[in-house]
Amino acid sequence: MENATILRLSSLKNNPTKNNNNWNNKKRILKAKFTSLTDADLRFENGDKNAMLSKVQVRLGITQDELSSILASL
């Protein structure tokens, strides 16, 4: 996964309340843009961002770079 995306997502741990709201907004946007995504696809299981990002990538049939670009645009 592209380092910038991982760093952005890893920052979610720094301020849980603010970042939780930010991630919830991003999830809402992603689900509206990509209707095949589910809450389960966008859930951090045991804090494993990489597994979640891989799941989203496979679900959307896109490359890591494409997913990084999408996340960066949010």
Find how far residue 54's CA is from the centre of its chain.
9
What integer pLDDT is reported at residue 10 of this predicted model? 52
pTM of the model: 0.67
pLDDT (tens digit, 9 = 90+) per residue, 8-21?
555 554 555 555 66
Neighbours of 8 (CB within 10 A): 17
Helix (H, G, I), strand (E, B) or coil at 47: coil
pLDDT score of 1: 44
Over the chain, what is the mean pLDDT? 79
Residue 70, classed as helix, strand or coil, is helix
Q: Is the pLDDT of residue 48 over 70?
A: yes
- Tokens read off for 16: 């849980």
Q: Please, which pLDDT band fits residue 56 given cuts at 50, 70 and 90?
A: very high
| Distances from the Cα of 36 to the Cα of 39, 59, 62, 66, 68, angstroms | 10, 7, 13, 16, 18
